């Protein structure tokens, strides 16, 4: 018996089915054809012609450098080498979505593996003015869900969206955008999920969203990302533990004087990359931010038992400390205790001759695993979170250390909270051993001497 595969359907149903199938299969092709063209974006230098202060703040910021950042370039190359599993490849292919967003949205580079020399010049300028100020909202607050509505190039620049209700310029239309005043505009890139395994790789926005700077009924206590990061300028770190005064000034060179202009340095904790691009100002600002992030305190109550408690408090950051790429960042405690003869009786967190942190140190970071409990350095293989030891905003952790209690008359205790952008092991792996030594920043330190006779009666006997 001859039969048509469509024998159960009427003609109308067949046509409908074909239309639905076509929509499903060709839908993505149609939307691809609608990709924005690169000439719709205006270079940051053009914006800088009238917004010169904001331009110079943004220049050589981590946003400006996101495509050319040497560590990013090296890490993405390392990831792409030797990948076999297609799911892992999918993740490592997606980096350009945030690091080269103007290129990605206009079709080149589509993938991290595309030839970098072919990236249009404007797209090499990272996260730039016209990208952020053409955003109208976001369809998801992770993996860059920004929705854009740019103009049509130099002659028809379109509408630039921002915090003012009364901005006016002869050059471009302006519009107030509540979205630009919210943390969500930052969160859409500052929440990173693995595209295949859904592992949460970066959660800065989530940490802030469920934290005390968002969840408070007292409006004065609320601080958005912009409230800290876009108030900072040299000498004013603008963290939660330091004042965040208004920044009076002009948004445009010939614009009106305003009570507050949001700064565009976008300083986090990176002291290395701005220095590579000769911006010592931004390096110093990152140090100012880091040194106003945390507090250290000692609890010596049980010192006679040979126990010392160190309390580390996240006093300055609006998210976990550290945050962002915390499988790579290193924040750790260096503790040295000496007796009255200067003999070291306890030591942890020192660097060895290669600059690697010695085993057993107290490190605040995250460690990803391959799904079978084995730690992985390559985030494209990250299927699980094996360790997450960080400090939530306004919270403290207590670290108890135990040292040898001999006949000691006096203790000299030195505790340092240290930070560096990456393990020296990783730098050696991607750039070659000893090629680049990362600086270590002292975020906070305590040095104190405790005379045993000054402590309680019976202390010496006990010790
Ligand atoms: C959803 C957006 C997003 C995607 C996709 C993304 N990143 Fe990032 N990346 C960020 C953000 C945000 C930071 C800054 C976080 C911080 O400073 O801790 C960052 C920082 C980095 C850094 C640190 C650079 C430095 O100088 O310290 C490296 C390396 C990096 N990313 C590599 C990658 C690679 C490789 C991929 C692709 C597998 C990727 N990123 C995909 C948002 C993204
Ligand atoms: C990462 C996204 C981002 C980038 C890149 C960016 N801006 Fe902004 N800009 C913002 C946000 C967000 C605000 C408003 C902050 C608020 O209201 O909380 C803002 C505010 C402004 C304002 C209003 C005045 C002020 O500063 O308060 C102007 C003008 C402006 N930006 C111009 C620029 C120019 C020019 C560049 C490039 C040199 C640039 N922006 C790059 C996000 C960005
Ligand atoms: C010819 C000069 C000129 C150029 C070029 C220019 N702007 Fe402006 N822009 C202005 C002036 C003037 C204002 C109004 C400032 C004010 O009212 O304080 C303004 C305001 C803004 C605002 C605030 C909008 C609001 O409603 O909050 C943003 C954002 C902005 N510009 C972004 C950009 C971006 C992005 C570019 C480059 C694509 C750019 N501008 C290029 C002159 C210019
Ligand atoms: C289009 C995606 C995107 C948006 C939107 C975005 N960022 Fe970023 N941001 C990044 C990437 C990617 C990096 C890391 C660049 C690198 O290290 O190579 C970064 C870096 C930073 C850094 C520097 C981190 C460090 O280690 O020093 C800060 C601070 C920052 N962003 C704050 C913000 C704030 C505040 C907003 C919102 C006003 C915002 N970002 C919006 C993608 C984005
Ligand atoms: C209360 C002030 C405050 C708020 C609010 C805040 N931050 Fe931060 N941020 C800091 C401080 C202080 C640091 C430096 C210490 C550190 O690295 O965490 C920092 C560091 C960072 C870094 C660099 C982290 C690293 O070590 O690589 C990024 C990226 C960042 N912030 C993004 C954001 C984003 C996105 C938001 C909003 C969701 C936000 N911040 C809200 C104070 C704040």
> How much is the pLDDT for 83?
83
Judge whether 154 lies within some domain. Answer: yes
In this structure, the residues whose C-beta lies within 6 A of any atom of ligand 4 are 62-63, 65-66, 69, 72, 98-99, 101, 127, 132, 144, 185-186, 188-190, 225-226, 229, 266-270, 324
Judge if 255 and 344 occupy the same domain. Answer: no
Confidence of residue 85 (pLDDT cuts 50, 70, 90): confident
Q: Which domain holds residue 368?
A: 294-462
Judge if 96 and 128 occupy the same domain. Answer: yes
Judge whether 14 lies within some domain. Answer: no
Last residue of a domain, one of 271, 287, 303: 287
Judge if 386 and 238 occupy the same domain. Answer: no
The residue ranking higher by pLDDT, 139 or 461, is 139
CA 253 to ligand 3 center in whole angstroms: 10
In which residue are the tokens 């670290």 written? 399
User: 89-127: per-residue pLDDT in tens?
Assistant: 999 889 999 999 999 999 999 999 999 999 999 999 999
CA 106 to ligand 2 center in whole angstroms: 22
Under a CB-based contact definition with an 8 Å cutoff, are residues 345 and 404 in contact? yes
CA 72 to ligand 1 center in whole angstroms: 7
Contacts of 245 (CB under 8 A, 6+ apart): 231, 236
CA 78 to ligand 5 center in whole angstroms: 27
Confidence of residue 11 (pLDDT cuts 50, 70, 90): low
Query: What integer is the mean pLDDT of 240-261?
Result: 98
Judge whether 84 lies within some domain. Answer: yes
Query: What integer is the mean pLDDT of 243-270?
Result: 98
Last residue of a domain, one of 252, 287, 322: 287
Judge if 175 and 63 occupy the same domain. Answer: yes
Task: Using most ligand atoms within 8 A of CB, pick from 190, 207, 244, 289 the residue to mutate for ligand 4.
Answer: 190
Judge whether 12 lies within some domain. Answer: no
Judge if 450 and 316 occupy the same domain. Answer: yes
Judge if 355 and 242 occupy the same domain. Answer: no
Judge if 273 and 328 occupy the same domain. Answer: no
Judge if 78 and 200 occupy the same domain. Answer: yes
User: 137-164: per-residue pLDDT in tens?
Assistant: 999 999 999 999 999 999 999 999 999 9
User: Closest Cα to residue 432, out of 1, 9, 57, 74?
Assistant: 74
Judge if 60 and 118 occupy the same domain. Answer: yes
Judge if 436 and 355 occupy the same domain. Answer: yes
Judge whether 420 lies within some domain. Answer: yes
Cis-peptide, bond into residue 438, ω within 30° of zero? no
CA 100 to ligand 4 center in whole angstroms: 12
* Residue nearest to ligand 4 atom 18, measured at CA: 66
* Residue nearest to ligand 1 atom 27, measured at CA: 421
The ligand placed nearest to the CA atom of residue 378 is: 1
Q: How far apart are CA 51 and CA 49, in angstroms?
A: 6
Judge if 189 and 59 occupy the same domain. Answer: yes
CA 160 to ligand 2 center in whole angstroms: 10
Query: What integer is the mean pLDDT of 360-384?
Result: 95
Judge whether 7 lies within some domain. Answer: no
Judge if 354 and 233 occupy the same domain. Answer: no
CA 268 to ligand 5 center in whole angstroms: 6
In this structure, the residues whose C-beta lies within 6 A of any atom of ligand 3 are 42, 46-47, 49-51, 129-130, 133, 157, 160, 162-164, 167-169, 171-172, 174-176, 251-252, 254-256, 258
Judge whether 400 lies within some domain. Answer: yes
Last residue of a domain, one of 257, 287, 317: 287
Under a CB-based contact definition with an 8 Å cutoff, are residues 159 and 151 in contact? yes
Under a CB-based contact definition with an 8 Å cutoff, are residues 148 and 138 in contact? no
User: Closest Cα to residue 339, out of 416, 405, 402, 401?
Assistant: 405
Domain count, the chain: 2
> How much is the pLDDT for 34?
58
Judge whether 32 lies within some domain. Answer: no
């Amino acid at each position: 018996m001859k039969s048509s595969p469509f024998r159960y359907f009427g003609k109308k149903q067949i046509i409908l089915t074909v239309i639905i199938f076509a929509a499903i299969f060709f839908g993505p092709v149609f939307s691809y054809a609608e990709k924005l063209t690169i000439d719709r974006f205006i270079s940051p230098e053009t914006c800088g012609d009238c917004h010169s202060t904001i331009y110079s703040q943004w220049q050589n910021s981590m946003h400006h450098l996101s495509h050319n950042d040497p560590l990013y370039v090296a890490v993405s190359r390392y990831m792409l080498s030797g990948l076999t599993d297609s799911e892992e490849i999918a993740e490592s292919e997606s980096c350009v979505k945030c690091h080269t967003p103007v290129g990605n949205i206009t079709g080149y580079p589509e993938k991290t593996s595309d030839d970098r020399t072919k990236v249009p010049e404007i797209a090499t300028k990272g996260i730039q003015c016209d990208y952020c100020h053409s955003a109208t909202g976001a369809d998801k607050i992770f993996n860059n869900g920004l929705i854009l509505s740019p103009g049509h190039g130099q002659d028809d620049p379109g509408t630039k969206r921002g915090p003012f209700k009364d901005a006016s310029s002869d050059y471009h239309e302006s519009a107030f955008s509540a979205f630009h005043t919210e943390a969500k505009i930052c969160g859409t890139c500052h929440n990173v999920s693995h595209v295949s395994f859904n592992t949460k790789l970066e959660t800065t926005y989530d940490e802030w969203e469920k934290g005390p700077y968002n969840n408070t009924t007292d409006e004065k206590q609320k601080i958005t990302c912009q409230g800290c990061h876009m108030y900072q300028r040299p000498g004013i770190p603008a963290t939660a533990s330091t004042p965040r005064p208004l920044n009076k000034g002009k948004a445009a060179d010939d614009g009106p004087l305003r009570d507050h202009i949001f700064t565009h340095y976008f300083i986090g904790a990176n002291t290395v990359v701005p220095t590579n691009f000769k911006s010592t100002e931004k390096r110093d600002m990152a140090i100012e931010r880091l040194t106003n992030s945390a507090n250290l305190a000692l609890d010596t109550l049980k010192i006679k038992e040979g126990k010392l408690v160190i309390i580390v408090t996240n006093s300055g950051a609006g998210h976990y400390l550290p945050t962002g790429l915390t499988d790579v960042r290193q924040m750790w405690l260096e503790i040295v205790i000496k007796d009255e003869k200067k003999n070291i009786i306890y030591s942890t967190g020192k660097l060895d001759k290669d600059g690697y942190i010695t085993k057993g140190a107290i490190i605040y970071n995250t460690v990803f695993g391959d799904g079978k409990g084995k730690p992985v350095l390559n985030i494209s293989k990250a299927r699980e979170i094996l360790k997450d030891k960080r400090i939530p905003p306004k919270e403290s952790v207590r670290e108890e250390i135990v040292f040898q209690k001999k006949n000691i008359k006096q203790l000299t205790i030195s505790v340092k909270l240290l930070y560096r952008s990456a393990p020296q092991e990783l730098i050696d792996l991607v750039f070659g051993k000893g090629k680049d030594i990362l600086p270590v920043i002292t975020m906070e330190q305590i040095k104190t001497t405790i005379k045993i006779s000054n402590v309680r009666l019976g202390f010496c006997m006990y010790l």
